């Protein structure tokens, strides 16, 4: 009989422990990958300048902001409101704009008393201008965390722990849409000015 080789036995135990450790690390990495991808590969500047990032997914439209919004069924309320305020035709013109575009669900979520106040012509245009930025949003603006709107107030940009971008209290949805005259950033609530 040969003596039992304790080194071989210990090596086998070590190999099994190492295999378990690698498995746990692998599973953890797979679970964390989407979160890490959002945090490191979807920078918030890419939300406003999506076509500048080659590996960043974005939607492209060969139409103006106005025409692109009109074609997309989820912005019917926004299109009607922009027409009512006399801003829709502005978004057909050459130039460069960024629009934070609330979906129909965002408009429908406004409480009745807020919607009633919003429906006054002077308030409608004020609120809608709070969703418009003339020109391209710059890295300096994004890094400062504040973007000045056509209405004159500022929208605060923050990152959330899950890697999404918030504009005031609204969640911005990736990917944005580039158009012939700017960028459409989908948001899930209406941005009301601070004095509204």
pTM: 0.76
> What is the DSSP pairing of strand 59-60 with strand 154-159?
unpaired
Distance CA 36, CA 52 (A): 21
Query: pLDDT tens, 35-82?
Result: 544 444 456 777 777 766 655 556 788 899 999 999 999 999 999 999
Distance CA 74, CA 99 (A): 15
Percentage of the chain modeled with pLDDT above 90: 55
Inform me whether the pLDDT recorded for 150 exceeds 80. Answer: yes
Superfamily designation of domain 42-187:
FAS1 domain (2.30.180.10)
User: Tell me, what's the pLDDT at 29?
Assistant: 60
Whole-number Cα distances in Å, 34 to 42, 160, 190: 11, 14, 28
Question: Hey, where are the domains in the chain?
Answer: 1-41, 42-187
CB under 8 Å to 86, separation ≥6 — which residues? 125
Distance CA 155, CA 166 (A): 10
Distance CA 30, CA 44 (A): 23
Inform me whether the pLDDT recorded for 160 exceeds 70. Answer: yes
* 123 burial type by CB count under 10 A (0-12 exposed, 13-18 middle, 19+ buried): middle
């Amino acid at each position: 009989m040969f003596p039992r080789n304790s080194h071989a036995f210990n090596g086998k135990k070590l190999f099994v422990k190492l295999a378990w450790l690698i498995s746990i690390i692998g599973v953890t990495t797979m679970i964390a990958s989407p979160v890490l991808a959002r945090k490191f590969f979807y920078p918030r500047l890419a939300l406003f300048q999506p076509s500048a990032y080659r590996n960043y997914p974005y939607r492209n439209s060969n139409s103006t902001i106005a025409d692109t919004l009109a074609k997309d069924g989820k912005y019917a309320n926004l299109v009607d409101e922009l027409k009512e305020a006399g801003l829709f035709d502005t978004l057909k013109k050459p130039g460069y704009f960024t629009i934070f575009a609330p979906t129909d669900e965002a408009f429908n979520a406004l409480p009745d008393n807020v919607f009633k106040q919003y429906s006054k012509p002077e308030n409608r245009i004020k609120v809608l201008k709070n969703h418009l930025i003339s020109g391209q949003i710059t890295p300096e603006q994004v890094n400062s965390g504040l973007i000045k709107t056509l209405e004159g107030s500022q929208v605060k940009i923050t990152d959330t722990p899950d890697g999404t971008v918030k504009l005031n209290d609204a969640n911005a949805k990736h990917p944005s849409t580039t158009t012939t005259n700017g960028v459409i950033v989908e948001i899930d609530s209406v941005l009301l000015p601070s004095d509204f």
